[in-house]
Homo-oligomer: A and B are copies of this chain.
């Protein structure tokens, strides 16, 4: 683990460093381009900090070991890309249902299927939200710089522990394989999971406002019952009653929805009543930001809006923007964030600039802006 200071490294390595700063206790993963550097780096560094490193036989085993690790009391993580992320979906749903804090890094590449393993894409945005069966909400963050690969990894752990839920760091090959300066501060703020107090007996339900029950470790003597089946507050399986399903699933969703304000995060520039607001996220948002800056310097009233937390989406703010401005979504995929943005801003005043496989230049984005506003 690196000392506080400034470094010039790859996004994936910064992610690994962020994880260690956040208190990573167990990493389990399986190699895949373009995410492998996260594990390659941790294989070497994590043991020095006392953390356990495991290369598993596949991605299903990886996410499973991560969940086991979390219940042993450790902060746990895995990193993968599209094909592996698809394989993990069943057990991500299990983590949601059992309220297991853990971080899943998806360094997106150009899909579908094996696609182009070294090329960036953001075709997993909707998958990160809906890839597992059943009703659930999830938190996902989309970094656009090496510094954010570090910072957002830390925040992913914090959100995960805070809300006792899996968090997806939705990176892309652009930002994962990019090298930039980034700074490890002297102090990194970390959040630890809620632990049971003497009085707690329910670890799967709560009447507290934040909807987050306390979580003990295995081995503490609570006779824990953890199950991915529908269950009551004490963990007892209930595979039939309407009430159990209704209460559990609604609370799990509320845990994210009712805490949106605390979770949401975005960057914006000149979005109030601009003629056109460009929405973008991940690596491609860099040239988009550059183009917006340029357009503004050239006197156009153009705004820039970038969700940093992509799920839950900053829907209220996007709706506001959509009311006052035309919007252009720029993304590295055909479907990406499109349905959600359209839901928020409507389809009438929405332009799309979707580009597959590679990042446009500032110039190219600028031209698109001109096409639209002229």
Contacts and interface: CB of A to CB of B under 8 A. Distances in A.
A342 interface: yes
A229 B342 CA distance: 30
A86 B82 contact: no
A250 interface: yes
A132 B136 contact: no
B245 A134 contact: no
A335 B249 CA distance: 11
Contacts of A252: 112
Interface in A116-160: 116-119, 121, 123-124, 126-127, 129-136
A330 interface: no
Contacts of A285: none
A130 B334 CA distance: 12
A308 to B, nearest CB: 21
* Residue from the set A82, A129, A245, A246 with the largest chain B CB neighbour count within 10 Å: A245
A240 interface: yes
Given A112-B249, A239-B118, A343-B339, A131 B135 contact: no
A342 B343 CA distance: 6
Interface stretch (A5-13, A48-56, A88-96, A208-216): A88-96
Contacts of A346: 346
Per DSSP, chain A at the interface is mixed
Nearest to A121: B134
B93 A245 contact: no
Contact of A90 (B83, B97, B118, B119): B83
Nearest to A87: B90
Given A130-B131, A242-B357, A250-B334, A93 B116 contact: no
A356 B246 contact: yes
Contact of A116 (B114, B121, B239): B239
A85 interface: yes
Nearest to A343: B343
Contacts of A119: 239-240, 245
A132 B112 contact: yes
Nearest to A247: B356
B86 A133 contact: yes
B335 A135 contact: yes
A357 B142 CA distance: 34
B245 A135 contact: no
Nearest to A342: B343
Nearest 5 Cβ contacts at the A-B interface: A111-B134, A112-B134, A82-B133, A113-B228, A97-B113
17 contacts: A86-B90, A110-B134, A111-B132, A111-B136, A112-B135, A116-B230, A116-B245, A119-B240, A124-B133, A126-B130, A127-B131, A131-B132, A242-B356, A245-B357, A249-B334, A319-B347, A343-B343
